[in-house]
Structure 1
Amino acid sequence: MSIPNIITLGRIILVPVIVWAIVSSQMEIAFAIFVIAGVSDAVDGFLAKRFNMSSELGALLDPLADKALLVSIFVALGIWGAVPRWLVILVVSRDIMIVTAVIVSWLFGKPIPMKPLMVSKLNTVAQVAFAALVLASLGFNFNPAPYDVILMGFVTVFTLVSVSLYLVEWVRHMSTIDAR
């Protein structure tokens, strides 16, 4: 168990805490935890690369921690009414489709290599920026317009484009299965 993996596990532990903060209307706390989670993500990535502490476990845990945090925040903010439910459904559905595709390919004995696309990285940046803006605006009582609408547009476009590209890649990958 390396230091980056311990930091990543700490980020996973923060997920229920940030959800509690949101549902308890403790938005300043939720925003602070979100910032701490973001800093911890940067720190564990830096340590893993800089000091050659990368591991297979870390390669699995890090994106899992990121997705657990973002999906939980979007769902909690959607239930709270701060994020449109259609956007929550879009964000969550994308991740469910990707995980399902990975599981199906694995079940067929044709595991698909996990390589994030550039548009997925942009999607994550847009989701993080949007969630941070919403949490900050709720916690510190300011109007995020028009930046919230702009970021919501980026999240929508990047989510749709990334799931489409992953689906095309998955179909291409799976079409090479022999029908015996």
Structure 2
Amino acid sequence: MEKAPTIRENIYTIPNLLTLSRIAACPVLGWSIVNDDFYLATGLLVYAGLTDLVDGFLARRFNMRSVLGTILDPAADKMLMTTLTVTLAMKDLLPVPLAVIILGRDVLLSLAAFYIRYTTLPPPKTFTRYWDFSIPSAEVHPTGISKVNTALQLLLMGTTTIGPILPFDIALPLQALQWIVAGTTIWSGASYVFAKDGFRVVSSAAKNRPPTTPPSTPPSS
């Protein structure tokens, strides 16, 4: 029996590089918050937001989408969120129980992602192939509540970060937002447990595709 060819894709795209730059900025962002440089932290948050918009636009407009992009983009968001959650909690700007809820959900979802990568990787399942992300195996589809939760978390973290440099007190609206984010974080974590379309196996999709049809691309960078 002839062995099926391994599906590969171009991962060296501008959107992926922009996403990697957001990841690289996270340590600097954390350092700036720990050292009370909230002006630099605010600037880095603006950069992260702009590059997130630009890489999504480029991926759609110039067909630079990739399965790796569907993994890197949420990974960059999670790394940004983890950096902000940890450092803001260290500075007593974010309640520790809320930080535990946010980080706990992300840890569980990360473990699930590692498991999905292994189970959907086309054979042979070797260590080298597992970490070769030019070999797509599954693409992630965030649930609706997860998208809302991510937006609310970013709003909370951004508002908390710029709070120290504002000329007025925002403690009361921040407290209300914290309770909302706690609820949506728990809800979004539960939604992945029951979602039937949280991810799509790429190799299976390729098998069901007509021979003359080029490989499809995922809907986001």
> In which range does the TM-score fall when normalised by the shorter chain?
0.7 to 0.9
C-alpha contact 2:67 2:139 (8 A) present in aligned 1: no
Structure with more helix by fraction: 1
1:22 pairs with 33, 40, 60, which one? 33
How big is the shift at 1:56? 2.1
How big is the shift at 1:65? 0.8
* Matching of residues 12-161 of structure 1 within 5 Å: 12-107=23-118, 114-161=140-187
C-alpha distance in 1 between matches for 2:46 and 2:163: 14
Is 1:9 matched up with 2:12? no
C-alpha distance in 2 between matches for 1:2 and 1:107: 25
How big is the shift at 1:51? 1.4
Structure scoring higher RCO (CA < 8 A, sep ≥ 6) equals 2
Which structure's CA Rg is the greater one? Answer: 2
Residue by residue over 1:67-126, the C-alpha shift from the partner in whole angstroms, topping out at 9 and shown as x without a partner, is 101111111101111000111110000011111123334555698762200100000010
C-alpha distance in 2 between matches for 1:65 and 1:113: 15
C-alpha distance in 2 between matches for 1:76 and 1:61: 22
Question: Any stretches of 5+ residues in structure 2 without a counterpart?
Answer: 1-11, 122-136, 200-221
Change (3 A) 1:89 1:112: farther
- Residue identity (%): 33
SS in 2 for 1:63: helix
Aligned-residue Cα RMSD (Å) equals: 2.1
Change (3 A) 1:78 1:47: same
Q: Which amino acid aligns with 2:154?
A: V
C-alpha contact 1:123 1:159 (8 A) present in aligned 2: yes
TM-score by length of 2: 0.71
Residue by residue over 1:17-42, the C-alpha shift from the partner in whole angstroms, topping out at 9 and shown as x without a partner, is 10010011101111111111111101
Change (3 A) 1:118 1:95: same
Residue correspondences, number: 171
How big is the shift at 1:4? 1.0
C-alpha distance in 1 between matches for 2:39 and 2:120: 47
Question: Any stretches of 5+ residues in structure 1 without a counterpart?
Answer: 174-180
Q: Which amino acid aligns with 1:2?
A: T
C-alpha distance in 1 between matches for 2:161 and 2:92: 12
Change (3 A) 1:109 1:58: closer
Change (3 A) 1:76 1:168: same
1:177 maps to what in 2?
none
